[in-house]
Amino acid sequence: MRVLIRADASPAIGSGHVARCLSLAQVLRQGGAEVVFACRALPGHSLERIAEQGFRALALPAEYAGEEPGASIEAPLPWQADIAALGACLVAEARFDWIVVDHYGLDHAWQTAARQWARQIAAIDDLNNRRHAVDILFDQNFTAGDPEYANRCLQPCRELFGPHYALIRDEFRREPVPISLQPRRVLVNFGGLDAAGETWKAMRALADFSELEVDFIAGTANPMLASIQAMAAGQPRWRVQTFVSDFAALMARADLFIGAGGGTSWERAVLGLPTLCIAVADNQRANAERLAAAGVHVYLGSSDEVDVDSLRQAIGFLLGNVSLRRSLAEQSRRLVDGLGARRFAVALAGASLALRRATVEDSPLLFDGRNAESVRRASLSPEPIGWEAHQAWLAASLLNPGRLLLIAEADDGPVGVLRYDLAGSRAEVSLYLFQDRMGLGWGRALLARGEETVRGHWPQVTVIDAQVLPDNPASLELFRHGGYVQSVCRFERVLKDPLHD
């Protein structure tokens, strides 16, 4: 699978768009995909950062004719110029399976034009200021499902909405931060650019807490960097870093985080790190407020609403309230499990999932997969199966013209098993995923690809049905989303009307 990611970074845009796309790109690469970035060479761009992480990055022009200088982050780009520049970079490139675009300035017009280079388009969006023409619309924020955010897509598309899909790098999936009775360490980070100057504000608010060890992460583009470094020089327990190679480890050692309401919200949540949040952009406010209402962090307001004194008081209050810090940690980890990037990657890879007929050589794979405890727990026959019984079952299945036994494979190996049993014009489906594929959305891809196979193999089939245990909510949800209609705990999907065949 080949994926092109279109995202930019600059002092006005910030570095969060590229950062979250890198989280997705890393997971895609682990799954065998080739990922290429296309970014403008704006001041404060991330082209070197992308290259350092082993991805090819195509440099688009920093200036386009007709573009308004100093335009806001949400201002539309001259999309025709961007498409032309991208086309010049892609002259020698093969087509992509997906283009993923994460940009507030590009909408349905750009997406429609970009289909000349890809079969499918996905958009990452957390605003409601433009319309999309995509196959997947992704929004990890709480606000994604709000009524005012509805109908953002001009065509039927799959929606990946909410913190369940939060784009988090693997290094953040570790043991939760321990909640200490006597907190000693604070971490301050407002992004790589911090144009609002919140790091400097936090530094002045923390000046009275001489007993604390404080790590300040302020990038080289921070407008107050010289002042920050000068003030820290007089504080032996303070450290200022312009670059951190293992941010997750630094967060895991902290007792309190002071930061913005962007992408690090999800990284803090998966670690259960108590946080004081200040929104540094208008597009962060709604989600920061919703996360506060869910008990995930303490939201103090936007940068222009929070002064040094109010931040100082909030720091003292939260450091002294261990019950509140424990509650914030518990609610955070309940909301975010750190697998969102994998779920997004599966949604992309599922469209090209390969199905093949099982063979005798698959016997060990099928045996281990069917006997996994998680699979047996959801099975109508939960007892373990012996090797000899399994061998006999497989031999009979492969010879049975009324049974279709399929193995689903992604670029990085087998994903799961589908079995269809024919009964006249109906076929009953059962499926399971291999142990490390569960909880990521592969089941939906298996059902869709399996349906295509059944249509071609048994054209007489008009209905597919399934039996599901009533205490198996994951399977119940899977079949509902797959277009199956429930009757008690049995599902069926009508493929065609036999009266109009």
Would you tell me how many other CB atoms lie within 10 Å of the CB of residue 270?
25
Domain-wise residue ranges, the chain? 2-168, 172-335, 353-500
Closest CA to 218 of 229, 209, 207, 231: 229
- Strand segments, DSSP code E, in 41-107 are 56-60, 96-102
Annotated binding site: 169, 267
Whether 353-500 and 172-335 are alike in CATH topology: the answer is: no
- Annotated catalytic residue within 17, 45, 103, 297: 17
Rounded CA-CA distance 108/96 in Å is 18
Token duo for residue 204: 């002045």
Q: Which tens digit of pLDDT belongs to each residue from 437-476?
A: 999 999 999 999 999 999 999 999 999 999 887 778 888 8
Parallel/antiparallel/unpaired status of strands 485-487 and 490-494: antiparallel
Q: Which tens digit of pLDDT belongs to each residue from 387-411?
A: 999 999 999 999 999 999 999 999 9
Token duo for residue 382: 């939960």
Q: If pLDDT is split at 50, 70 and 90, which confidence band does 497 have? A: low
Least confidently predicted of 32-46, 88-102, 474-488: 474-488
Query: Residue 469 in contact with residue 438, Cβ under 8 Å?
Result: no
Token duo for residue 49: 């950062």
Portion of the chain with pLDDT greater than 70, in percent? 98
Sign of CA dihedral 145, 148, 151, 154: negative
Q: Which tens digit of pLDDT belongs to each residue from 1-57?
A: 999 999 999 888 888 899 999 999 999 999 999 999 999 999 889 999 999 999 999
Least confidently predicted of 149-158, 209-218, 297-306, 318-327: 149-158
At the topology level of CATH, where does 353-500 sit?
A: Aminopeptidase (3.40.630)
* pLDDT of the residue at 498: 54
Token duo for residue 196: 């609002």
Q: Tell me the backbone φ, ψ of residue 259, rounded to 5 degrees.
A: -165, -170
2-168 in CATH: which number? 3.40.50.11190
Give the contacts of 196 (CB within 8 A, at least 6 positions apart).
190, 280, 303
The DSSP code sequence of 131-142 is -B--SEEEE-SG
At the topology level of CATH, where does 172-335 sit?
A: Rossmann fold (3.40.50)
Is 17 a known active-site residue?
Answer: yes
Annotated binding site for substrate: 169, 267
How many residues does the structure list for the chain? 501
Token duo for residue 283: 């597009």
Give the contacts of 175 (CB within 8 A, at least 6 positions apart).
252
User: Which run of H or E residues covers position 21?
Assistant: helix 16-30
Mean pLDDT across the chain: 91
User: Which run of H or E residues covers position 240?
Assistant: strand 238-241
